[in-house]
Amino acid sequence: MEPRIGVFICHCGSNIANTVDVEEVVRYASTLPDVVHADHNMYSCSEDGVGSIKAKIKEKGIDRVVVAACTPRTHEPLFRNACEAAGINRYLFEFVNIREHCSWIHMKERELATEKAKRLVRMGVAKVALLTPQEESESPVVKSAAVIGGGVSGMTAAISLADQGFETHLIEKGSELGGLVKDLGALFPSESTPLEFVKTMRDETAASGVRIHLSSEIKDIQGYIGNFDVTISENGKEEKFKVGVVITATGADELKPVGEYGYGRYPNVITQSELEKKLAKGERVGNTVMIQCVGARQPGREYCSRICCMTAIKNAGRILALEPKSRVVVVHRDIMSYNARNEALYRKSMEDGVTYLRYTLEDKPRVEGRDRAEKITLREETLDEDIALPFDTLVLSTPLVPNPDNGKLQKMLKVPLDRDGFFLEAHVKLRPVEFATDGVFICGCARWPSDVPECISQAGAAAAKASIPLRAGKVRTEAITAEVDETTCTGCGNCIATCAYGAISIVEVEGMRVARVNLAQCKGCGACVGSCHNGSIQQRGFTEKQLISMIDCLTEGD
Amino acid sequence: MPEFEPRILAFCCNWCSYAGADLAGVSRLQMPPNIHIIRVMCSGNVKPEYVVKSLVEGVDGVLVLGCHIGDCHYISGNHRTIKRFALLERLMDDLGIDKRRIRVDWVSASEGEKFQKVVSEFVAQVKSLGPNDIRRDAA
């Protein structure tokens, strides 16, 4: 029976359609062999989009589906589910990436990008025609978790998992729990002090039965969802355990802006966290100027750290409360007082007498002084005037910067970092706090700078997501395992030497030695395929025929 | 005459290089539109025959991109890749194909910029080699 292929091209709003002529790709797709229906959606992944795909499958008797949209790493499960719901085996589906791999990287080349998208769709159609139905198997999930990082995020996630009854390991590099928060002078906007708050959390962590590993370093993480082998060095002693899921909560560090505005040279130029320590000890700081966005939102480090404006507003208020006669001026480029609560605090800060002045990136404030910094001069943007501000203390608001261990950890966990060095979650809307790699989750400042309430919400979300496979006790594994054609296999054993999982063995079938794959052990890499001298071993969903059909699309004329 | 636009195939492993290409896209890193990615689960799945067949049939260049050595999602799949392609490179002369039409490299999930760099360099290299005339020569 001839395949009946349906092709659905996504506009992704303007993300694809601005660069790729979607209608043209649809026209082209409808001319390809075995395509009985080609269509486009504004957002294929929306309820409407998925609904219309399902309706078309039924209406047109489609038995294989190609969706050309974004990346299978985030959206493949959604469309496979749609196929299944419409009565097609979920493996008779092929994803074509025309966003990350086309429209977003060829934004100025509409014509060439459209031609490329057409070829990519053609390759997808060629492959889908050759796909065969597959059944998934299940693999067990070890019912325990590792949480990396013992700050507020890590403790919150660990408590949540331990309270659900899962064995939970909390791994902290330092000698005590509490992360960045334990070093703060005041918690905002609540009345409790950071020390009280951290102590409460530590007590809760201990009471919930979390296995706490202090002064511990991750040595190695191997494995996959349901079955990770974690090796740590705790106080120099090696320990190993198995977990089903991993939550990354490694936090971030405050940037020390050495060299900027006299920091490191003048004793009275300090960062916000250094100010907090002084205030916590009751030290007087006198007339104070704060400069925002030091080392942030400028070439080399372009992101906004989000939380430093509220830190400045908090500390300005604390100075005024302790020393009502002091004058506090915040010099900024924009105030990031997102959400209603923060905006109200910003307004109150102005009413309380904190002065806010604007500077520009092109004309940064200049610091003058001899033994101590004495004043800054700046071009005030709104007034368009030079202003000189004498002070006793100059406080620099610096961004949170990624934990330097992120690079090492991302390699072990096989998850991405963004260009700034923070961890990159699978999708901000569809899969927040998850990585594209199954079984690994992210929360808190390791993801991007967040305040304490945000960290707690994210940690709760990550723990909830992580508990799904733990509770189920099993995960469905993709059916992209290897299979041997026993009629042609010569039993040479090349594939056995290639398999890193020991999944292949030689068995005797009617007196002939042939290779056989143990599906429970096969992880679906296909490395064995490349070692077979006569094509007897194939990977489901990535067979020689299927891949060559894609290659042929590029060598034939359009 | 319009500029020669080579057709280039890139085999990318699902876990590292395909994700690196995704990150390049998310970061809007611009690069020439000559690369067509075929996703495989592991670079160890890419048979040298696929590369030879592509080139013999007129594809202008083939990239094989995997995880960095030591970072393979499947422990050691890319060890196979590196060995197979070292051998293939040595055979290219015998096949009458310029070995500069092949490149094996490693791009991690966090290396969007490296993906852009490898693609841009390889496209420029294949452009400088000109069209793959092997089919015409054979005719």
Task: Yes or no: say if A359 and A377 are a contact pair by the CB < 8 Å rule.
Answer: no
Distance set, CA A7 to CA A19, A29, A209, A555, B49 (Å) = 19, 7, 52, 22, 30
In chain B, what residues touch A73 (CB-CB under 8 Å)? 14, 18-19, 22
At residue A379 the predicted structure's pLDDT band, cuts being 50, 70 and 90, is: very high
Task: Yes or no: say if A222 and A500 are a contact pair by the CB < 8 Å rule.
Answer: no
Cα distance from B19 to chain A (closest Cα, Å)?
A: 8
Question: Rounded CA gap, A497 and B58, in Å?
Answer: 33
Looking up tokens 């002939």, which residue turns up?
A: A512
Question: Rounded CA gap, A165 and A145, in Å?
Answer: 11
Residue of B nearest to A423 (CA): B110
Nearest to A101 among B25, B75, B113 (CB): B25
Indicate whether B1 pLDDT > 70.
Answer: no
Q: Which of A101, A533, A548 to mutate to test the interface with B (most CBs of B within 10 A)?
A: A101
φ and ψ at A23, to 5 degrees?
A: -60, -40
Where is average pLDDT lowest: A29-33, A548-552, B79-83? B79-83
Question: Rounded CA gap, A337 and A340, in Å?
Answer: 8
B8-138 — its CATH code?
Answer: 3.40.50
A8's CB contacts (< 8 A; 6+ apart) are A38, A39, A40, A41, A44, A49, A53, A56, A65, A66, A67, A68, A69
User: What integer pLDDT is reported at residue A54 of this predicted model?
Assistant: 97
User: What integer pLDDT is reported at residue B17 of this predicted model?
Assistant: 96
Where is average pLDDT lowest: A206-210, A409-413, A551-555? A409-413
Span A524-551, average pLDDT: 94
**Domain definitions of chain B by residue range:** 8-138
Indicate whether A204 pLDDT > 70.
Answer: yes
In chain A, what residues touch B53 (CB-CB under 8 Å)? 548, 551
Span A226-230, average pLDDT: 94
In chain A, what residues touch B57 (CB-CB under 8 Å)? 551-552, 555
Domains of chain A (ranges; CATH) run 5-136 (3.40.50), 144-251+403-475 (3.50.50.60), 255-399 (3.50.50.60), 482-539 (3.30.70.20)
User: What integer pLDDT is reported at residue A517 of this predicted model?
Assistant: 92
Indicate whether B137 pLDDT > 70.
Answer: no
At residue B136 the predicted structure's pLDDT band, cuts being 50, 70 and 90, is: low
**Structure confidence by residue, pLDDT tens digits, B41-66:** 999 999 999 999 999 999 999 999 99
In chain A, what residues touch B82 (CB-CB under 8 Å)? none
**Structure confidence by residue, pLDDT tens digits, B13-47:** 999 999 999 999 999 999 999 999 999 999 999 99
Where is average pLDDT lowest: A88-102, A443-457, A497-511? A497-511
CB atoms within 10 A of CB A518: 13
User: What integer pLDDT is reported at residue B135 of this predicted model?
Assistant: 66
Token digits for B122? 């390889």
Span A131-136, average pLDDT: 93
